[in-house]
Amino acid sequence: MTENSAVPSLYEWLGKAEVLRKLTARFYERVLADDLLLPLFAGMPQDHPRHVADFVGEVMGGAPDYTATRGGHHIMLGQHFGRNISEEQRRRWVDLLLDTADEVGLPNDPEFRSAFVAYLEWGSRLAVINSKLPPEAGSDPSTPMPHWDWGVPGGPYIEKKN
């Protein structure tokens, strides 16, 4: 559980790194078999699922592994520049990830799923917006890492309490 709290983080609730890695590995197998999403991901590096698991883990209250190894949120934002993601692709990505969450056994209680879906909607819509920027646009290194929690008002950039 999180320090000074009886309420587990979303990261703890979903099962931590092992579960996230299982989720992203299976998800990207499914993505590569999907005709609509394949063009966006055909050239992804083999370690992409691991990086996404680290990113989501950090956002949901886990260790700052993505920031430590990849450099933070601005790196993730920049990965989407110039990709021109369509709404249909965004929606398929979210639906496929939710189907995979069911398949690998992520918690299905309404409170967790509400927070999880809210994050997927927010993040995927941000990806679409950023995908319209040219690849050379660059991203601001001071962009804070979002921190998602249990439906707490204030959005993803609420300062994390230690």
Domain that holds residue 81: 10-137
Whether 4 shows a pLDDT value over 80: the answer reads no
Whether 65 shows a pLDDT value over 70: the answer reads yes
| Residue 100 in domain | yes
Predicted TM-score of the model (pTM): 0.88
Q: Identify the CATH number of the domain in which residue 111 sits.
A: 1.10.490.10
The C-alpha atoms of residue 64 and residue 11 are separated, in whole angstroms, by: 12
Instruction: Using pLDDT thresholds of 50, 70 and 90, give the confidence band for residue 118.
Output: very high
**What pLDDT was estimated at residue 162?**
46
| Residue 149 in domain | no
Average pLDDT, the chain: 90
| Residue 148 in domain | no
Provide the number of structural domains found in the chain.
Answer: 1
| Residue 142 in domain | no
**What pLDDT was estimated at residue 139?**
87
| Residue 23 in domain | yes
In this structure, how many other beta carbons lie within 10 angstroms of the beta carbon of residue 119?
18
C-alpha closest to that of 25 among 55, 48, 45, 41: 48
| Residue 3 in domain | no
| Residue 156 in domain | no
Angle formed at CA 45 by CA 41 and CA 50, multiple of 5 degrees: 100
| Residue 1 in domain | no
